Amino acid sequence: MSQPYKVAVIVGSLRKASINRKLAQALAELAPPSLQLEIVEIGELPLYNEDIDVSPAPAAYTTFREQVKAAQALLFVTPEYNRSIPAPMKNAIDVGSRPYGQSVFSGKPGAVLSASPGAIGGFGANHHLRQCMVFLDVHMLQQPEAYLGGAGKFFDDSGKLDDGIKGFLQKFIDAYAAWVARQVQG
């Protein structure tokens, strides 16, 4: 087998114990050998400001851009805040898409999984993020859609993933792996 595809995983929640971070880690464990998922941290990114994005750019901007640029694919795992994506996620998108004409996202295959303790599973965040990615020329996986409601019940007290959601996550990551292979080899 050839080298696995490197996947930059961007988690929209900054909490260390966030449900979305746990889901990203679970997806990494369920991923087939063709994918190598790595979380790219976004918590230290200064708010995007063109005035500070000069040579040299802030170190956090440079590190983030290099990590995403080195990846062959993108996976976004996010909660929903006020029917949209969390501010750190939007900031990461802005940092990665700049300077103008040098987006680190362009042309890569991507997918989004949103999760929330609420009933609609981050539907608004999922679609707002997709809208940003369409503009940035990211080729998003369309099916299966992944809006995970009731996410507060996905892990037991020891951190073990519930078998009920594990099957769906496996289906999602397998479909994503096939999507990445088609897009990258394309």
Residue 165 CB contacts under 8 Å (≥ 6 apart), including other chains: 148, 154
Over the stretch 22-70, which tens digit does the pLDDT of each residue have? 999 999 999 999 999 999 999 999 999 999 999 999 999 999 999 999 9
Q: Residue 1's pLDDT is what?
A: 52
Residue type, 112: V
Share of the chain above pLDDT 70, in %: 99
Positive or negative, the CA dihedral 39, 19, 88, 108 is positive
Over the stretch 151-182, which tens digit does the pLDDT of each residue have? 989 999 888 999 999 999 999 999 999 999 99
- Predicted TM-score (pTM) of the model is 0.96
**SS3 at position 110:** strand
Domains present along the chain, CATH in parentheses: 5-185 (3.40.50.360)
Give 82's Cβ-side CA count (13 Å radius). Answer: 2
Give the Cα separation of 97 and 93 in Å (integer).
6
Give the Cα separation of 91 and 64 in Å (integer).
11
Contact 99, 52 (CB under 8 A): no
Over the stretch 90-121, which tens digit does the pLDDT of each residue have? 999 999 999 999 999 999 999 999 999 988 89
